Amino acid sequence: MPLPPARAWIRPALIGGLILSAAMALTPALAGDWSVDAPLDEAGARALLDRLGYGATPSSLRQTTGMTARHYLQRALQDVSVLPREVSERIARMPVQQALEPLWQRLGPGGSERKGMDEAPKQEVQREMNQYAAATVQARLLTMANSDNPGHEALLSFWLNHFSIYAPKGPVKLLAWDYVAALDRALREDSFEALLRASFLHPAMQVYLDNAQSTAPDSRAATSTLATGRGRQRGINENLARELLELHTLGVDAGYTQSDVQALARIITGAGVYTAGMQERNLERAGAVRKGLFLFDPRRHDFGEKTFLGEHFPGGTAGLTEIDRALQLMARHPATARRISAKLARRFLADEPPAAVVEAMSAAWLRSGSRISATLLALLESPAFGTSLAQPAKFKEPLDYLLSAAHAVCGDRPLNNPLLLAASAMDMGQAPLMHTTPDGYGTQESDWLSPAAMAKRTRLAIGAAAGRMPLADGAQGDEFQARPDRPQDLLKGTACSTDGQALTQLLGPPSETLRQQGAALGATERVALRLASPAFMRR
């Protein structure tokens, strides 16, 4: 769905100049003495809210000024997000607030509304599931945009992207919002191992990467209808095992082999999803273990002897015990420490982070048993991090840009237009939970910087500055319903407006070059210029 069109009064030459200028790298300046325990001044608070958040608002700037970076990090990990009442009420009206289990019993595989259906009722079920997936994306954006704990939402977004799922895939539509909640809870445990387990043990990941029906060829379920409900053989699917090693933990260059992938795929057989129609009595007799909608069914498990990452797994071991041991091995592996530390540093410091910083983070990871706080504290304590805050050079990803621009023009007004937020995120290529492959969205400048992308950002800046984008409030009703045939719905609601003085408080004083460029422009044009400037493209 396209963004609102640009206003004709913005000079084409100015737009072209902004696009070319934004493509130029900025040179970091020295930050002087930097300490995670020193109270942040307003400039430091503004920079930290941009780096580990989505841009300052007047209230978040007041809250963060005087806080230490250590305290900001602790709050990001330990505290929940609180939303404005009107935003919470809007999310409460969305389909995602339905209880998951009865919804799954009704619409999930084998559900009561999917049996013996004609084509028209099937289409109605699919429409309802699509609405649920759309509401998941919109509720996530509302939370990111309005949280009183922006550091928490920035970290949660990182981990949701790392353990990426694709919300529109089949039954994942119904599971994605619960997946967000599961990773949110795990994040507050302050452990990568907890995040890895939460992701693996969630039915959304089991379904997304096709492990829910992975069955050992010599298992009881291979030729039985008891567990699968189908009288045909199933084999071992390696998708989840491969991505656990390649994407979620060690990394493709860590030296593991195809034999390790095969062994892990055998270890995780039996893990899957509870589906409607399964007989609880049969599951109990078989020794199955159910946690919510996650189900471990030993009738599908490979109980044979295995060797994984050089460790011996004896035959006959209880399946969940094997899975637990394998997840721990991967979470605490030195290659995982190095890879995830580097990935965190690329997201929150620089596209090419200093090797010494990544090494310090990896060491903290290993010493602490994969504590996120210890790993990130090593990043924040580095002089390189202080330097980068003084002169931001990290290119904003689309969501960073969208939300920081919205905060700049709306200030403390709640961003309560889920349809516009979702449409804008989709148009810019980074809607949450919508990446089609399990590698997640890229975080580097080369992933997002292009003339077409810069034109979209400039157009968004123009629309926001001119008050043509109702970011603060959208039309009430079935906002979770995607209506690409009615783009005019995006423009229903109340827009924000701001002036140069308010913008200076949130963004800091403009550079002399930018001030001179805007001297001959009107007030609205100067706001658009600021939001489309090279400096605003960096965080």
pLDDT tens for each residue of 109-140:
877 665 666 777 788 889 999 999 999 999 99
pLDDT at 112: 61
Residue 294 has pLDDT above 90, yes or no: yes
Do 323 and 453 fall within a single domain? no
Do 313 and 409 fall within a single domain? no
Structural domains counted in the chain: 2
> Does 519 map to a domain?
yes
Do 436 and 516 fall within a single domain? yes
Do 326 and 397 fall within a single domain? no
pLDDT at 316: 85
DSSP 538: B
Do 406 and 494 fall within a single domain? yes
Do 398 and 529 fall within a single domain? yes
Boundary residue ending a domain (279, 314, 331)? 331
Boundary residue ending a domain (314, 331, 348)? 331
pLDDT at 184: 98
Do 435 and 518 fall within a single domain? yes
DSSP 534: T
Boundary residue ending a domain (331, 347, 380)? 331
Least confident span in 222-226, 414-418, 448-452: 222-226
pLDDT at 13: 42
Do 327 and 397 fall within a single domain? no
pLDDT at 21: 46
Highest mean pLDDT out of 26-30, 33-37, 317-321:
33-37
Residue 419 has pLDDT above 60, yes or no: yes
Please state, rounded to an integer, the average pLDDT across all residues of the chain: 89
CA 68 → CA 28, 40, 76, 384, 439, distances in Å? 22, 6, 12, 17, 34
Domain range enclosing 288: 208-331
Measured distance between the N- and C-terminal CA atoms of the chain, rounded to whole angstroms: 27
Residue 193 has pLDDT above 90, yes or no: yes
Residue type, 108: G
Residue 302 has pLDDT above 50, yes or no: yes
User: Who contacts 172 (Cβ-Cβ below 8 Å, separation ≥6)?
Assistant: 133, 165, 166, 204, 207, 208
> Does 142 map to a domain?
no
Do 453 and 327 fall within a single domain? no
Least confident span in 77-81, 217-221, 263-267, 295-299: 217-221
Do 508 and 423 fall within a single domain? yes
Strand duo 294-296 + 271-273: pairing: antiparallel
pLDDT at 490: 65
Cα 142 from Cα 12, distance rounded (Å): 33
Do 410 and 302 fall within a single domain? no
Structure tokens at 279: 């007989």
DSSP 40: P
Do 398 and 494 fall within a single domain? yes
> Does 528 map to a domain?
yes
Residue 243 has pLDDT above 90, yes or no: yes
> Does 526 map to a domain?
yes
Residue 298 has pLDDT above 90, yes or no: yes
Residue 488 has pLDDT above 90, yes or no: no
Mean predicted confidence (pLDDT) in 512-521 = 91
> Does 97 map to a domain?
no
Mean predicted confidence (pLDDT) in 427-443 = 98
pLDDT at 75: 98
User: Which of the two residues, 69 and 230, has the higher pLDDT score?
Assistant: 69
> Does 323 map to a domain?
yes
Mean predicted confidence (pLDDT) in 195-213 = 97
Mean predicted confidence (pLDDT) in 380-386 = 97
> Does 24 map to a domain?
yes
> Does 418 map to a domain?
yes
Shortest CA distance to 275 belongs to which of 237, 228, 234, 236?
A: 228
pLDDT at 297: 94
Least confident span in 82-96, 231-245, 363-377, 514-528: 231-245
Residue 224 has pLDDT above 70, yes or no: no
CA 41 → CA 47, 100, 145, distances in Å? 10, 45, 24
